Amino acid sequence: MRTRGIIAALSTAAVVLSGLVKLEAQDAGSRASFTRGGWAGARYVAMGRSAEVIADDVFSIYWNPAGLSGLKERERLSPDEIGERARAGNVDSISEDDLIRFSDERGPRTVFQTGISAAMIDVEREAGFAGVAFTAFKGVVGLGAYSIQSKGIESRDESGNRIGNINYSGSVGYFSYAWTSGVTSIGVSLKGLYEKIGAVGFYGGGFDVGAQAEVVPFLRVGFVVMDIGTGLKPDSTYDHIENEYDFASPVIKISAALTSRESDFTLALSAVRKLEQQDYEVNIGLSYNLGKNITVYGGLCDSFFSAGLSFSLWSLEVAYAFSYDNIGTGYNNIVSLTMEL
């Protein structure tokens, strides 16, 4: 089953990458770059944004939709499943909550998780994410929204003369779905985009696809391709702006993570290729559980340092991350909160 799952992941990657070759040949450009900000979930920012293989909560909607399958692992067992595991001697996989519900004949419950994050970014930018995820249709459904804005940007004419200030904003809406095949999780996100530069608006769409697979108990691999078919079109007719769909360049991310036997330490690595660029971006992240409720993080996002911590209590987790900005080389701060019902 493990072999079939890995083959399924590689087959999915081959289909996606073959489509990307066509997009690159069309000279897609770099429109809709605001989708790449990565300001979703403090612990993933703290780990140097090496999140493609470790994302396992509602913020997977942004990082890798395949990670949403992590919520299925939180789904409580039915009485029949408890009986099967007990007869097989696999009692370690039965939680206390499962035993309490042993007499409940309704079967597995629906797991529901919500999360929000807010970032104060260098050079007067702000970003936010909000989403919900829940088990449904033998998989996990995710709904989310990501936005980034910057106000008071200097505007100049063709001669370089300042003509005032303008505001900028970009938003993405997500509908995601993830399912599991053997040891492999596969996910897809459909995206709707809206961008506004001053008084000029643009709209568009696209999708992301990703996978995660457990190669051995301590090693996971994953990949995600973002902004497939993504592009923007003016929402009205404007002077000096072509009224056509302007394609963005997809982004390919490949990631791996090593976890200690006790699952208290994780090392994650990811390589990022933006198809309109020649260079690769390499991200590294570390996490260490100080106790049952506190985890610390550190990372490098293409040589820019990041760090953070998270605190969990019952079904609530609060996380904070600090990072150096790779544009203005200033300081970024992000907080996030997740709650599971």
Per-residue pLDDT of the chain (341 residues; tens, 9 = 90+): 444 444 443 343 333 333 333 333 333 345 888 999 899 999 999 999 999 999 999 999 999 999 999 988 765 555 555 556 556 665 555 555 544 444 444 455 688 999 999 999 987 789 999 999 999 988 999 999 999 999 887 777 677 777 778 899 999 999 999 999 989 999 999 999 999 998 899 999 999 999 999 999 899 999 999 999 999 999 999 888 888 999 999 999 999 999 998 889 999 999 999 988 888 999 999 999 998 899 999 999 988 999 999 999 989 999 999 999 877 778 999 999 999 98
Rounded Cα–Cα distance for residues 248 and 276 (Å): 9
Instruction: Give the CATH number of the domain where residue 23 resides.
Output: 2.40.160.40
Query: DSSP string of 221-268?
Result: EEEEEEEEEEEEEESS--TTS--S-EEPPPEEEEEEEEE-TTS-EEEE
Question: Is residue 301 one of the residues assigned to a domain?
Answer: yes
Residue 82 located in a structural domain = no
Does the residue 96 lie in any domain? no
In sequence order, what are the residues at sequence separation of 6 or more whose Cβ sits closer than 8 angstroms to the Cβ of residue 233?
Answer: 202, 203, 204, 243, 244, 245, 246
Residue-range definition of the domain harbouring residue 22: 2-75+110-340
Residue 144 lies in a domain: yes
pTM: 0.82
176, part of any domain: yes
For residue 91, being part of any structural domain is answered with: no
Total domains in the chain come to 1
Give the pLDDT score at 262.
83
* pLDDT score recorded for residue 133: 98
Tell me what pLDDT residue 20 has: 34
Cα→Cα distances 36→57, 136, 273, Å? 19, 28, 12
Q: Would 94 be classed as within a structural domain?
A: no
Q: Tell me if 105 is assigned to some domain.
A: no
